[in-house]
Amino acid sequence: AKSCGIDGQSVMEILCSDTKAAMSPYFMRPGFAFGGSCLPKDVRALRHLASQNDTPAHLLNAVLEANEAQIAKAEAMVEKSGATTVGFVGISFKPGTDDLRESPLISLAARLIDKGIEVNIYDPFVKEAYDSGTPGAGRGNETVPNLESRLVGDLDKLINDAGAVLVGNYYNETIETLREAAKTQIVVDLTRLHRDMVSDANYEGICW
Protein backbone atom coordinates (compact mmCIF):
# COMPACT_ATOMS: atom_id res chain seq x y z
CA ALA A 1 0.00 0.00 0.00
CA LYS A 2 2.73 2.45 0.97
CA SER A 3 4.52 2.03 -2.37
CA CYS A 4 1.33 3.32 -4.01
CA GLY A 5 1.04 6.27 -1.64
CA ILE A 6 -1.72 4.68 0.43
CA ASP A 7 -1.91 4.31 4.23
CA GLY A 8 -1.72 0.55 4.86
CA GLN A 9 -3.46 0.78 8.23
CA SER A 10 -6.32 2.72 6.65
CA VAL A 11 -6.71 -0.03 4.06
CA MET A 12 -6.96 -2.67 6.80
CA GLU A 13 -9.44 -0.56 8.75
CA ILE A 14 -11.66 -0.43 5.67
CA LEU A 15 -11.39 -4.19 5.13
CA CYS A 16 -12.17 -4.97 8.75
CA SER A 17 -15.15 -2.61 8.83
CA ASP A 18 -17.06 -5.11 6.68
CA THR A 19 -18.26 -7.67 9.24
CA LYS A 20 -20.84 -9.23 6.93
CA ALA A 21 -18.71 -10.34 4.00
CA ALA A 22 -15.00 -9.84 3.49
CA MET A 23 -13.78 -10.68 7.01
CA SER A 24 -16.72 -12.85 8.12
CA PRO A 25 -16.68 -16.58 8.93
CA TYR A 26 -18.37 -17.10 5.54
CA PHE A 27 -14.96 -16.55 3.93
CA MET A 28 -12.56 -17.23 6.80
CA ARG A 29 -13.04 -20.99 6.89
CA PRO A 30 -10.90 -23.94 5.73
CA GLY A 31 -12.06 -25.51 2.51
CA PHE A 32 -11.39 -25.88 -1.19
CA ALA A 33 -9.84 -23.43 -3.63
CA PHE A 34 -11.44 -20.15 -4.68
CA GLY A 35 -12.31 -19.08 -8.21
CA GLY A 36 -14.63 -16.80 -10.13
CA SER A 37 -14.19 -13.79 -12.35
CA CYS A 38 -13.01 -11.39 -9.63
CA LEU A 39 -10.75 -12.66 -6.86
CA PRO A 40 -8.15 -14.58 -8.91
CA LYS A 41 -7.87 -11.68 -11.35
CA ASP A 42 -7.63 -9.13 -8.54
CA VAL A 43 -4.89 -11.06 -6.73
CA ARG A 44 -2.88 -11.31 -9.94
CA ALA A 45 -3.38 -7.58 -10.58
CA LEU A 46 -2.15 -6.71 -7.10
CA ARG A 47 0.90 -8.93 -7.60
CA HIS A 48 1.63 -7.14 -10.87
CA LEU A 49 1.24 -3.76 -9.18
CA ALA A 50 3.60 -4.80 -6.40
CA SER A 51 6.13 -5.99 -8.98
CA GLN A 52 5.98 -2.70 -10.86
CA ASN A 53 6.66 -0.89 -7.61
CA ASP A 54 9.56 -3.20 -6.68
CA THR A 55 7.65 -4.38 -3.62
CA PRO A 56 7.77 -8.05 -2.54
CA ALA A 57 4.29 -9.59 -2.39
CA HIS A 58 4.92 -12.70 -0.31
CA LEU A 59 1.37 -12.99 1.00
CA LEU A 60 -0.21 -12.55 -2.42
CA ASN A 61 2.15 -15.14 -3.90
CA ALA A 62 1.27 -17.53 -1.10
CA VAL A 63 -2.46 -17.05 -1.70
CA LEU A 64 -2.20 -18.28 -5.29
CA GLU A 65 0.24 -21.05 -4.37
CA ALA A 66 -2.06 -22.28 -1.60
CA ASN A 67 -5.03 -22.16 -3.95
CA GLU A 68 -3.22 -24.31 -6.50
CA ALA A 69 -2.14 -26.68 -3.72
CA GLN A 70 -5.77 -27.27 -2.71
CA ILE A 71 -6.68 -28.31 -6.26
CA ALA A 72 -3.70 -30.68 -6.33
CA LYS A 73 -4.71 -32.07 -2.93
CA ALA A 74 -8.25 -32.78 -4.12
CA GLU A 75 -6.85 -34.45 -7.22
CA ALA A 76 -4.68 -36.70 -5.05
CA MET A 77 -7.66 -37.57 -2.83
CA VAL A 78 -9.67 -38.74 -5.82
CA GLU A 79 -6.75 -40.74 -7.23
CA LYS A 80 -6.21 -42.37 -3.85
CA SER A 81 -9.81 -43.61 -3.90
CA GLY A 82 -9.02 -45.71 -6.98
CA ALA A 83 -12.32 -44.71 -8.60
CA THR A 84 -12.44 -44.78 -12.40
CA THR A 85 -15.75 -42.88 -12.54
CA VAL A 86 -16.30 -39.79 -10.38
CA GLY A 87 -19.56 -37.95 -9.87
CA PHE A 88 -19.06 -34.24 -9.25
CA VAL A 89 -21.68 -32.41 -7.20
CA GLY A 90 -21.12 -28.91 -8.51
CA ILE A 91 -18.84 -27.60 -11.24
CA SER A 92 -19.43 -23.83 -11.13
CA PHE A 93 -17.09 -21.66 -9.06
CA LYS A 94 -19.71 -21.37 -6.30
CA PRO A 95 -23.25 -22.63 -5.64
CA GLY A 96 -26.18 -20.67 -7.02
CA THR A 97 -24.61 -19.76 -10.36
CA ASP A 98 -23.80 -21.28 -13.73
CA ASP A 99 -20.60 -19.22 -13.95
CA LEU A 100 -17.58 -21.42 -14.64
CA ARG A 101 -14.97 -18.69 -14.95
CA GLU A 102 -11.79 -19.85 -13.20
CA SER A 103 -13.76 -22.48 -11.30
CA PRO A 104 -11.30 -24.72 -9.45
CA LEU A 105 -13.77 -27.57 -9.97
CA ILE A 106 -13.41 -27.17 -13.73
CA SER A 107 -9.63 -27.37 -13.32
CA LEU A 108 -9.95 -30.45 -11.11
CA ALA A 109 -12.35 -32.20 -13.50
CA ALA A 110 -10.06 -31.52 -16.47
CA ARG A 111 -7.06 -33.00 -14.66
CA LEU A 112 -8.96 -36.16 -13.77
CA ILE A 113 -10.27 -36.55 -17.32
CA ASP A 114 -6.74 -36.17 -18.65
CA LYS A 115 -5.77 -39.11 -16.42
CA GLY A 116 -8.47 -41.32 -17.91
CA ILE A 117 -11.04 -40.92 -15.14
CA GLU A 118 -14.64 -40.56 -16.29
CA VAL A 119 -16.32 -37.47 -14.82
CA ASN A 120 -20.07 -36.90 -14.61
CA ILE A 121 -21.56 -33.78 -13.09
CA TYR A 122 -24.62 -32.78 -11.08
CA ASP A 123 -24.95 -29.00 -11.14
CA PRO A 124 -28.56 -27.79 -11.35
CA PHE A 125 -27.62 -24.24 -12.34
CA VAL A 126 -25.23 -25.17 -15.13
CA LYS A 127 -27.66 -27.81 -16.44
CA GLU A 128 -30.54 -25.34 -16.39
CA ALA A 129 -28.46 -22.87 -18.38
CA TYR A 130 -27.84 -25.47 -21.07
CA ASP A 131 -31.38 -26.87 -21.05
CA SER A 132 -32.96 -23.44 -21.38
CA GLY A 133 -30.57 -22.32 -24.10
CA THR A 134 -29.22 -19.49 -21.99
CA PRO A 135 -26.77 -17.39 -24.03
CA GLY A 136 -23.30 -18.01 -22.70
CA ALA A 137 -24.13 -21.36 -21.08
CA GLY A 138 -20.85 -23.01 -20.15
CA ARG A 139 -19.01 -19.69 -20.15
CA GLY A 140 -15.60 -20.01 -18.60
CA ASN A 141 -15.11 -23.65 -19.55
CA GLU A 142 -12.09 -24.09 -21.78
CA THR A 143 -10.74 -27.39 -20.49
CA VAL A 144 -13.51 -29.94 -19.85
CA PRO A 145 -14.49 -31.68 -23.11
CA ASN A 146 -18.18 -32.38 -23.82
CA LEU A 147 -19.30 -30.61 -20.67
CA GLU A 148 -22.99 -30.54 -21.59
CA SER A 149 -23.12 -34.30 -22.17
CA ARG A 150 -21.51 -34.93 -18.78
CA LEU A 151 -24.31 -33.15 -16.90
CA VAL A 152 -26.74 -35.37 -14.98
CA GLY A 153 -30.07 -34.09 -13.72
CA ASP A 154 -30.70 -36.96 -11.28
CA LEU A 155 -28.48 -36.99 -8.18
CA ASP A 156 -29.32 -40.61 -7.37
CA LYS A 157 -28.19 -41.69 -10.84
CA LEU A 158 -24.97 -39.73 -10.45
CA ILE A 159 -24.26 -41.49 -7.15
CA ASN A 160 -25.19 -44.96 -8.40
CA ASP A 161 -23.01 -44.67 -11.50
CA ALA A 162 -19.97 -43.31 -9.64
CA GLY A 163 -17.09 -45.12 -8.03
CA ALA A 164 -16.59 -42.00 -5.91
CA VAL A 165 -18.64 -38.87 -5.35
CA LEU A 166 -16.89 -35.51 -5.11
CA VAL A 167 -18.84 -32.77 -3.35
CA GLY A 168 -17.62 -29.45 -4.71
CA ASN A 169 -20.60 -27.15 -4.07
CA TYR A 170 -23.12 -27.07 -1.25
CA TYR A 171 -26.73 -27.48 -2.39
CA ASN A 172 -29.30 -27.79 0.41
CA GLU A 173 -31.42 -30.29 -1.50
CA THR A 174 -28.50 -32.74 -1.83
CA ILE A 175 -27.28 -32.90 1.76
CA GLU A 176 -29.31 -35.77 3.19
CA THR A 177 -28.88 -37.89 0.08
CA LEU A 178 -25.12 -37.39 0.14
CA ARG A 179 -24.87 -38.04 3.86
CA GLU A 180 -26.66 -41.34 3.34
CA ALA A 181 -24.41 -42.20 0.39
CA ALA A 182 -21.31 -41.58 2.50
CA LYS A 183 -22.25 -44.53 4.71
CA THR A 184 -21.55 -47.03 1.94
CA GLN A 185 -19.78 -45.17 -0.85
CA ILE A 186 -16.57 -43.17 -1.24
CA VAL A 187 -17.32 -39.48 -0.82
CA VAL A 188 -14.66 -36.78 -1.18
CA ASP A 189 -16.03 -33.62 0.40
CA LEU A 190 -14.53 -30.23 -0.48
CA THR A 191 -17.28 -28.10 1.07
CA ARG A 192 -18.39 -30.01 4.22
CA LEU A 193 -21.82 -31.54 4.10
CA HIS A 194 -22.32 -31.28 7.85
CA ARG A 195 -20.28 -30.14 10.84
CA ASP A 196 -20.47 -33.54 12.53
CA MET A 197 -18.92 -35.36 9.56
CA VAL A 198 -15.21 -36.14 9.78
CA SER A 199 -12.96 -38.31 7.65
CA ASP A 200 -13.47 -42.05 8.09
CA ALA A 201 -13.42 -45.21 5.97
CA ASN A 202 -15.66 -44.00 3.12
CA TYR A 203 -15.85 -40.27 3.71
CA GLU A 204 -12.90 -37.88 3.40
CA GLY A 205 -13.01 -34.13 3.90
CA ILE A 206 -10.31 -31.93 2.44
CA CYS A 207 -9.64 -30.09 5.73
CA TRP A 208 -11.53 -32.10 8.37
> Does residue 38 have an active-site annotation?
yes
Query: pLDDT value at position 16?
Result: 76
Task: With cut-offs at 50, 70 and 90, classify the pLDDT of residue 27.
Answer: low
pLDDT in tens, 107-145: 999 999 999 999 999 999 999 999 999 999 999 999 999
What burial letters (b/e) apply to 85-103, b meaning 16+ CB within 10 Å?
A: ebbbbbbbbbbebbbbbbb
- pLDDT at residue 66, rounded to an integer: 94
Query: Rounded to 10 degrees, what is the CA torsion of 68, 74, 79, 83?
Result: -140
pLDDT given at position 97? 97
Instruction: Give the residue among 46, 41, 150, 156 at the shortest CA–CA distance from 91.
Output: 150
The pLDDT of residue 25: 60
Q: Is the distance from CB of 205 to CB of 193 less than 8 angstroms?
A: no
Q: Which of 68, 139, 130 is nearest to 104 (CA)?
A: 68
Catalytic residue among 4, 16, 38, 207: 38
Whole-angstrom distance, CA of residue 4 vs CA of residue 177: 51
Q: What is the DSSP string of 36-94?
A: SSSHHHHHHHHHHHHHHTT---HHHHHHHHHHHHHHHHHHHHHHHHT-SEEEEE--SSS
Q: Which of 131, 136, 132, 163 is nearest to 148 (CA)?
A: 131
34: amino acid identity, one letter:
F
pLDDT value of position 21: 64
pTM of this prediction? 0.88
